[in-house]
Structure 1
Amino acid sequence: MIHIIGTGPGDGRYTLDLARETIKTCTVFAGFRSHALRFIPPSSPFVDLSSDGGVGIYSGLDEIDRLRLGGEDEIGILVSGDPGFHSLLPLVRSRYPQWELRIVPGLSAFQVACAKIGIPWQELELVSLHGSGGEDIASFVRRFVSHPPSGMSGFVVLTAGPRGDRDLAERIIVEEPRFRGFKAWFCWDIGEDGESIAYCRLDAVQEGGRLCTIIMHRMEEESV
């Protein structure tokens, strides 16, 4: 059995008991070392899916195939957030039949961020820029403002990198200068000791943490 385990955002404070119990049943693990290693027992066999210093996703899944053929029958693939939200679930499902997979859900950073600031997230359209240059985000914002989807009052963008927050805000402003006065919630490193949340204009955001959840709710503009 291959268990795809969502561990939630951050250091484990939002990890579900079911995920922890499933990890205890696994004998081999795979995931991205910056996140996964904090959850597995020391010295456990581990396939690092990271592109920087690891074997990468596709080679890592090939290694999982070899482990399965070698007799390993309880393999845990650990992911941050939820496996079904911009994560590894689609790729893993394309390689294995459904009956060989068990999906353990997890909280996503945007769910936790919305809870912290008191916004119902069923009203928000979800966009992820993890692993993406995000060239289309400004046009997405323009379309959202001019023709908002029915029932949607705002949107959430997940981004990463040391300047993911500033880069995104600057890209939106360059494409549509009138958006500089729009305000958003910037939620950095949700679930980590250093998490922080700020509500500010796009042209005033400061660089924050490694991972950022950006929430523009009701497209509010601050008068200058």
Structure 2
Amino acid sequence: MSTQTQPWLTILGIGDDGVDGLSQAARSALQAALRIYGGARHLELLQGGSVSADCEMKAWPSPFSKGIEELAANRGQNTVVLATGDPQWFGIGATLHRQFSAHEIEVIPHLSAFSLAASRLGWPLQHVETISLHGRPLDTLRGFLYPGARIIALTSNGAAPGEIADLLADEGYGASLLTVLEHLGGPQEKVTVCEAEEFTGEAAELNTVAIEAKPIPNTPVLSRTPGLPDSAFRHDGKMTKQEVRAVTLAKLAPIPGQLLWDIGAGSGSIGIEWLRAAMNTRTIAIEPLEKRHAFIRGNAAALGTPQLQLVEGKAPEALDDLPQPDAIFVGGGLTSTDIIKTCFEALPSGGRLVANAVTLEGEQVLAQGWKKYGGELSRLAISRADPIGGLTGWRPMMPVTQWSLVKS
């Protein structure tokens, strides 16, 4: 049995048109508020109307957590938090819902920058990649590039459009059509369209960037389906090769929102492809060798997954205090059953474990794990065509023994 609480906290979306663009419900919330929080720009938009004379208007404090503490200290008092556009779409809404119950909160959204941009461009929004680069690494964009992609990106500042144009040119997408939309929905709205490689200068601090991706000839196309070419990764030779990687990811079964431990990450290829394969996934890559840490970080940035978390250490000791995984891959360091035991115990019911080995010693560890915990044991043998003198023959790669299971 639950007791519903009357909402006291209103998260209110506001556009660049200020008070004029607010609904009657939004105006009523502002009139009833004892306290209003927002950024300096938000508070300026309210000047001249819709706010009670007794209302206290406060710029959101720094650090961010201090604002949360102030809201909690004044729980139950009518409070409005201003946000740009739709607070639930890459906005403050998600953060506040983690701190307070849904019964305490009323959300009054405004038109999002995504909706406004799509309406200006005539793009069907359900077919558009909508991403936020606001306060996030610009390298995130690399993971969304493919021929014909339509992308709308929120940005952090006026320099961002130029940085995006440079990144597109770097990736072989300099021919892409770049649309910079400044002050969407407001009296200062401005739209600039050009090819990415032709963009120069800066934009207004408040801007949104739309991209119609077009590669130049011979630009590699990198699918989000697992099994990228080996050449997509920098490595020292110790990496899970393309064909084995595709099979391994199929057994790991990436699911949106889930966490992978990539143990003995090497180049980071398994963890990176896990992140590319499904939305909002997370990877913790565990790698003891310092010389490979640069490979992992560089590959993650280059392939659009800068959110990959690297733990510099050796399993099983480095696994202490990590959040519970939904899937685990063991690609290196299989010298004893200690790692297998630790991994199996860490998984929840339904969690997936996949371990690969190329040595006899590693095979013995996998065989022991298979006998104790069950699952499937298989051997993957791949051969690639290779020149032999003036002819062509099959050159076998080292066979890989793979053990996989779903914990029941």
The share of aligned pairs that are identical, in percent, is 20
Task: Give the gaps of 5 or more residues in structure 2.
Answer: 1-7, 218-408
Judge conservation of contact 1:159–1:212 (CA < 8 Å) in 2. Answer: yes
Once the two structures are TM-superposed, the CA of residue 221 in structure 1 deviates from its matched residue by 6.4
Aligned to 2:86: 82
Once the two structures are TM-superposed, the CA of residue 116 in structure 1 deviates from its matched residue by 2.3
Deviations 1:145-199 (A, max 9, x none): 3xx8xxxx5121111212111011112222x1x2111112211121333221122
Aligned to 1:21: 28
Question: Residue type matched to 2:197 in 1?
Answer: D
1:123-138 correspondence to structure 2 within 5 Å: 123-138=127-142
Aligned to 2:155: 159
Task: Give the gaps of 5 or more residues in structure 1.
Answer: none
Aligned to 2:126: 122
Question: Residue type matched to 2:107 in 1?
Answer: I
SS of the residue corresponding to residue 85 of structure 1 reads coil
Cα distance, 1:43–1:74 mapped onto 2, change above 3 Å:
closer
Judge conservation of contact 2:173–2:214 (CA < 8 Å) in 1. Answer: no
Task: Tell me how far apart the structure 2 counterparts of residues 14 and 220 of structure 1 sit (CA, whole Å).
Answer: 36
Aligned to 1:186: 180
| TM-score after normalising by structure 2 | 0.46
Once the two structures are TM-superposed, the CA of residue 13 in structure 1 deviates from its matched residue by 4.7
Judge conservation of contact 2:133–2:140 (CA < 8 Å) in 1. Answer: no
- Coordinate RMSD, CA, aligned: 2.4
Match of 1:208 among 190, 194, 203: 203
Aligned to 1:58: 65
Judge conservation of contact 1:13–1:191 (CA < 8 Å) in 2. Answer: no
Judge conservation of contact 1:81–1:106 (CA < 8 Å) in 2. Answer: yes
Once the two structures are TM-superposed, the CA of residue 36 in structure 1 deviates from its matched residue by 3.0
Judge conservation of contact 2:33–2:55 (CA < 8 Å) in 1. Answer: no
1:8 aligns with 2:15: yes
Aligned to 1:102: 106
Match of 2:38 among 31, 48, 60: 31
Relative contact order, CA 8 A, sep 6+: which one is greater? 1
1:64-75 correspondence to structure 2 within 5 Å: 64-68=71-75, 73-75=77-79
**Count of residue pairs the alignment pairs up:** 205
| TM-score after normalising by structure 1 | 0.81
Deviations 1:6-31 (A, max 9, x none): 11345345433322222112111112
Cα distance, 1:85–1:165 mapped onto 2, change above 3 Å:
same
Cα distance, 1:56–1:10 mapped onto 2, change above 3 Å:
farther
Question: Residue type matched to 1:62 in 2?
Answer: E
Aligned to 2:277: none
Deviations 1:69-112 (A, max 9, x none): xxx52111111111101011111111111111111111112211
Match of 1:93 among 94, 97, 100: 97
SS of the residue corresponding to residue 135 of structure 1 reads helix
Structure with max Cα Rg: 2
